[in-house]
């Protein structure tokens, strides 16, 4: 894959962590992602405990590569 603008979260107190990048030096198997080492093991999907807010650090709606990511969108929208 090509990763252009990923984010991850470092101050997650008060949030539930729903997904993290794998905590291994080979967490990104193939493609292009400049400066990816800082993301290793970091939270990438979090949900605020006190508010109805979910943050997704992946580009889940990028181009036409969303086949397996629609579930993330729907869960973030419809799950309470």
pLDDT digits (tens, 9 = 90+) for 9-30: 999 999 999 989 999 988 888 8
Q: Do the domain assignments include residue 3?
A: no
pLDDT of the residue at 60: 74
How do residues 36-74 score in pLDDT, each as one tens digit? 888 999 999 999 999 988 898 887 777 766 677 777 777
Based on the structure, what is the number of domains in the chain?
1
**Structure-block tokens of residue 3:** 């990763």
Nearest to 26 by CA among 18, 15, 36, 34: 36
Q: Do the domain assignments include residue 4?
A: no
Domain extent at residue 71 = 15-78
């Amino acid at each position: 894959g090509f990763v252009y603008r990923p984010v991850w979260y470092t101050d997650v107190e008060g949030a539930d962590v729903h997904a993290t990048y794998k905590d291994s030096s080979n967490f990104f198997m193939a493609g292009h992602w400049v400066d990816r080492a800082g993301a290793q093991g970091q939270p990438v999907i979090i949900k605020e405990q006190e508010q109805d807010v979910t943050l997704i650090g992946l580009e889940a709606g990028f181009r036409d590569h969303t086949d397996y990511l629609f579930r993330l969108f729907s869960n973030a929208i419809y799950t309470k």
